[in-house]
């Protein structure tokens, strides 16, 4: 395990300062493959994913490959995912692997080593994790992330409607489940500058003021921009004073403009420029 010189909070801050606050997902969904005139084969997967990397890895702050769409092709798909991670990082983008892993003990340690350890072929700059076996079960991922200068994004209040029943439910202390996850992440980030390595996932479609991020001191990954209904303009009302910590994420709103590299770049720049204008206004 090799220590990375700068912590994830600093590296993410630097990347956003240089490239704008935008995360683009690489989601090789069958419908998107077909819209690009591609079939559902490992070769088509590679063409899709590497075209997205060519177009976007030199442009955006963060690329977020969705691992499930690579896993369905077996070892051939995982080989493409390794290539996506390596080439994206070589081009200067931070890579957030959307794997949503959550387990206990040595199994959680293995997941963390797979996606955060420097010597793994799938080592990314950050990974998504699920806390619903208990926030403490994620400790192996936190330890490895901190040691290697990488990040962890914990599901707090997700953008899918099915998550509301669980994530809005309240405990004995009156806090929602989602808020308790934000607060637990804040404990890990206390005292970090410019902020910590534990981020949370909070959908751009949640109700305004639903969560209090004032103590988080970490990044907020906000999926749901575009196809799921959130707009750049709605981000301010949704996140309020926490907006400077928000990393909005979109996938289909950019990828649907493929397969031409220039069209993908133009789409990503449009969204990025709208976000920059929002943050500067």
51-94 pLDDT, tens digit each: 999 999 999 999 999 999 999 999 999 999 999 999 999 999 99
Question: Could you give the percent of the chain with pLDDT greater than 70?
Answer: 98
Q: Which residue has the tokens 């084969």?
A: 41
Residues 98, 71: Cα–Cα separation, whole Å: 12
100 is catalytic: yes
pTM of the model: 0.96
Tell me which of 29, 47, 87, 100 is the catalytic residue. 100
- DSSP class of residue 138? G
Question: CA angle 13-17-19, nearest 5°?
Answer: 115
Q: Which residue has the tokens 């209040």?
A: 157
Question: CA angle 16-18-191, nearest 5°?
Answer: 45
Stretch 225-240: mean pLDDT = 85
Question: In a 10 Å sphere around its CB, with 0-12 CB exposed, 13-18 middle and 19+ buried, how is residue 13 labelled?
Answer: middle
- Residue 6: is its pLDDT beyond 90? no
The answer to whether 141 touches 187, Cβ cutoff 8 Å, is no
CATH of 8-280, picked from 3.30.505.50, 3.20.20.80, 3.20.20.70, 3.30.450.40, is 3.20.20.70
Stretch 170-197: mean pLDDT = 95
Q: List, for residues 97-122, the tens digit of each pLDDT value.
A: 999 999 999 999 999 999 999 999 99
The answer to whether 73 touches 103, Cβ cutoff 8 Å, is no
- Give the Å distances, CA to CA, from 58 to 78, 79, 117, 160, 268: 22, 21, 24, 30, 11
The answer to whether 261 touches 51, Cβ cutoff 8 Å, is yes
CB atoms within 10 A of CB 195: 19
């Amino acid at each position: 395990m090799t220590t990375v010189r700068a912590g994830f909070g600093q590296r993410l801050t630097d990347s956003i300062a240089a490239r704008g606050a935008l995360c683009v997902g690489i989601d090789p969904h069958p419908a998107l493959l077909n819209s690009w005139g591609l079939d559902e084969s490992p070769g088509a997967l590679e063409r899709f994913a590497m075209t997205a990397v060519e177009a976007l890895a030199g442009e955006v702050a963060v690329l977020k490959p969705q691992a499930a769409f690579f896993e369905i092709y077996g070892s051939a798909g995982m080989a493409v995912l390794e290539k996506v991670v390596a080439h994206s990082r070589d081009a200067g983008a931070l890579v957030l692997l959307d794997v949503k892993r959550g387990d206990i003990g040595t199994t959680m340690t293995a997941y963390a080593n797979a996606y955060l350890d420097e010597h793994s072929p799938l080592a990314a700059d950050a990974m998504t994790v699920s806390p619903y076996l208990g926030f403490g079960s994620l400790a192996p991922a936190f330890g490895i992330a901190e040691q290697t200068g990488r990040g962890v994004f914990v599901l707090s209040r997700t953008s899918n409607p099915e998550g509301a029943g669980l994530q809005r439910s309240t405990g004995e202390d009156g806090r929602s489940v989602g808020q308790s996850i934000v607060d637990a992440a804040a404990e890990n980030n206390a005292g970090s500058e410019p902020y910590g390595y534990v981020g949370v996932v909070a959908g751009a479609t949640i109700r305004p003021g639903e969560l209090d991020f004032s103590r988080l001191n970490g990044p907020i990954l906000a999926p749901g921009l575009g196809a799921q209904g959130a707009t750049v303009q709605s981000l301010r009302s949704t996140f309020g004073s926490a907006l400077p910590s928000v990393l909005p994420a979109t996938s289909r709103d950019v990828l649907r403009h493929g397969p031409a590299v220039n069209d993908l770049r133009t789409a990503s720049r449009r969204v990025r420029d709208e976000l920059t204008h929002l943050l500067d206004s």
